[in-house]
Amino acid sequence: MGSYNFCIAVLVMFNLSFMGISTSLNPYFYAKVCPQALPTIKQVVGAAVKQERRVGASLLRLHFHDCFVNGCDASILLDSTSAFTSEKNALPNANSARGFEVIDRIKYEVDKVCGWPVVSCADILAVAARDSVVALGGPSWEVQLGRRDSTTASESKANNDIPSPFMDLPELINSFKKQGLNVKDLVALSGGHTLGLSQCRLFKNRIYNETNIDPNFAHQGRATCPPNGGDSKLAPLDPSPASFDTNYFSNLVSKKGLLHSDQALYNGGQTDYLVKTYSKNYGAFSKDFASSMIKMGNIKPLTGKRGQIRLDCKKVN
């Protein structure tokens, strides 16, 4: 940016904040307009997780899949219209992304308690991800707030920008780099796989054909996933899929990563040392996970007058 453009940008930001329109995120965005917003989200997430522990994992993943496609703007929640096809149809999301009904319930309760629709769907996704991690025994962090909701979605960007479970380390590093996230963010955030489940179709090739896998673990996996069919059967991403712990990383050290992309983080490359550290040090993992979640949550938010506060998270107003 040239110095002239920089001055203009500073002036615009100064004017917008003078007009009471915030251009950056902050944790107190709803403190005055709706102090009950955050406790309400926590309560709905807590109840949903109590009913089905997996939904906490699903909500964490929704925030990730939102942020990696054009920033954290709730684009993943929009249904198809004549103007665009939904990101829900994209390969990484179709018959896979879940938890949408919990987001709708949160939106309903939050709008009711606030008396009017002030809380964005994008902020709901960010707070629900944090509250899910906490509900499953993980660390807490202060969620930055003030994101606004997109008026469009991109199925093709979702296909291109969400990393695939068949990627090797350099591709994973590159996919995170494109989002402004570094190697440490990649490893810490992959620790999200301490929670939740995966379908056979996404790791079948690994348990039948790969060699950097513990033989007993591969054998067990084959019992769950037959060579033909059974593609949507489920296996846990780590041995304790409803608790936030270091088992995901110690599993990688013993070659028991479920996805190809998981084991890629511990396969003789530059991330081995981080995986080893996190496998032995819950404090280091949970601290780095929390800071990387904040970083991921800050990807390209819509602020100020850009975007909108949706009335229904599934539809543009």
306 three-state secondary structure = coil
Residue sitting closest to ligand HEM (CB): 196
Q: Which stretch binds ligand HEM (CB under 6 A): 52-60, 82-90, 220-228, 242-250?
A: 52-60
Separation CA 51–CA 102 (nearest Å):
11
- Cβ nearer to ligand HEM, comparing 181 with 313: 181
Shortest CA distance to 110 belongs to which of 97, 98, 123, 94? 123
CB distance 275 to 266 below 8 Å:
yes
Q: Of the two residues 30 and 64, which places its CB atom closer to ligand HEM in the complex?
A: 64
User: Least Å distance between CB 126 and ligand HEM?
Assistant: 12
63 is an active site residue: no
Residue 55 backbone phi and psi in degrees, to 5: -60, -25
Residue of the chain from 138, 192, 297, 301 that contacts ligand HEM (CB under 6 A): 192
The DSSP code for 145 is B
Q: Is-contact 195 280, C-beta < 8 A?
A: no
Instruction: Give 151's contacts (C-beta < 8 A, 6+ positions apart).
Output: 307, 308, 316
Quick one: which of 125, 259, 274, 290 contacts ligand HEM (CB under 6 A)? 259
Please check whether residue 231 is in contact with residue 199, taking contact to mean a CB–CB distance below 8 angstroms. Answer: yes
Contact residue for ligand HEM among 34, 48, 49, 60 (CB under 6 A)? 60
- β-strands 234-236, 197-199: how paired? antiparallel
Position 257 contacts ligand HEM (CB under 6 A): no
Choice from 44, 48, 54, 67 touching ligand HEM (CB under 6 A): 54
Ligand-binding annotation for 87, yes or no, is yes
DSSP string, 193-216: GGS-EEEGGGTHHHHHH-SSS-HH
- CA 262 to chain CA centroid, Å, is 16
Q: What is the DSSP letter of 72?
A: S
Nearer to ligand HEM, 132 or 154 (CB): 132
> Shortest gap between Cβ of 263 and ligand HEM (angstroms)?
11
Q: Which stretch binds ligand HEM (CB under 6 A): 37-45, 56-64, 72-80, 216-224?
A: 56-64
Binding residues for Ca(2+), as ranges, are: 66, 69, 71, 73, 75, 87, 194, 238, 245
* Contacting residues toward ligand HEM, per CB under 6 A: 54, 57-58, 60-61, 64, 96, 98, 163-165, 172, 189-190, 192-193, 195-199, 202, 259, 261
Q: Looking at the annotation, which residues are catalytic?
A: 65
Binding residues for substrate, as ranges, are: 163
Binding residues for heme b, as ranges, are: 193
